[in-house]
Amino acid sequence: MSTLTILQRGEPVLSAIAKPIHNIDSAEIKQLIIDLKSTVALAKGVGIAAPQVGQSLRLFIMCSAPSERYPDAPLLAPSVIINPEITHTNNEQELGWEGCLSVKGKRALVPRYTSIEVKFLDENGIKHAQTLTGFLARIFQHELDHLDGITFIERLDHESDAIDEQQWRNIISPTKNCD
């Protein structure tokens, strides 16, 4: 198990459409899954996509727990998502704060669908179809964007709509950040 370097916005792989995975059982894919889990845990993220570590493959990890970055996050054990698709969305979108391990130090209110129907393979090649809502739907959409060469910054009307982490901390918890 090793920790991988998380690439930052501007790296070409982060703006490319990732390739589907055809051999889930390959040693390379199994190792990448192990390393992605380790990397996202160390970075204290709620998800990480293969392109963020330089691998143009349709694979991401979703994991969630309350943290400093996402205090209201629900609990979700690390879940491997391979060749994901959104098959249906509701028409309702809501704004929610997002950050990204590949866009260090920035936050923005990003519109996302509140409910999505998805299908994907897990690390054992088992097909899944499920409905995701709320924060988990947000994570899935954010990570799927990475597989399509999009960061949350591209979802904004203007890049200047993103704020830095300290501004964000003051907005979400102004009394805790008065120094």
Q: What is the DSSP string of 98-126?
A: EEETTEEEEEEEEEEESEEEEEEE-TT--
The span from the first CA to the last CA of the chain, in angstroms, equals 40
Going by C-alpha positions, the residue among 52, 22, 24 that lies closest to residue 36 is 52
Question: Is residue 92 annotated as a catalytic residue, yes or no?
Answer: no
Strand partners, 86: 118
Burial zone of 28 (CB within 10 Å; 0-12 exposed, 13-18 middle, 19+ buried): exposed
The answer to whether the CB of 43 falls within 8 A of the CB of 6 is yes
Q: Which member of 68, 92, 123, 143 is catalytic?
A: 143
d(CA 88, CA 22): 24
Any alpha helices (H) in 44-175, and if so which ranges? 134-147, 165-172
Active-site positions? Answer: 143
